[in-house]
Amino acid sequence: MSAERIKVRVTETGQTLEVVVLNKRASGIQVVLGEGIHNVKCELSPTRNGLAYAGSVAGREIVYERSREQVTADLDIRNPTLHDPRRR
């Protein structure tokens, strides 16, 4: 199984980076920048208006430019049984 990758933007330089997703939820996205022993973990949280996810790594702000609704829709596509009621 290959790891999910997303593109984030460094706000200071405008550069885009491709990062690996460790955990993806509507309430936050945990990503890893770099590879091997030089990797850094970062938690991306939804912004106040809910139009993006933002986090900070080594004093630099990174932004994932997808809304909370879009991420929720992505999660529903990947795992459609997530919100189904359980049978008793």
Choice among 24-33, 46-55, 73-82 with the minimum mean pLDDT? 73-82
pTM strictly above 0.85: no
Residues 60-75: tens digit of each pLDDT: 999 999 999 999 988 8
Residues 41-62: tens digit of each pLDDT: 999 999 999 999 999 998 999 9
* Residue 37 maps to a domain: yes
Are 42 and 57 within 8 A, CB to CB?
yes
Structure-token pair, residue 61:
């702000």
Residue appearing with tokens 């994932």 = 64
For 10, the domain range is 5-80
The continuous run of DSSP H or E covering 35 comes out as none
Query: Which pLDDT value is given to residue 1?
Result: 54
* Residue 68 maps to a domain: yes
* Residue 67 maps to a domain: yes
Of residues 38, 59, 55, the one with CA closest to residue 46: 55
* Residue 87 maps to a domain: no
Q: Tell me how many domains the chain contains.
A: 1
* Residue 54 maps to a domain: yes
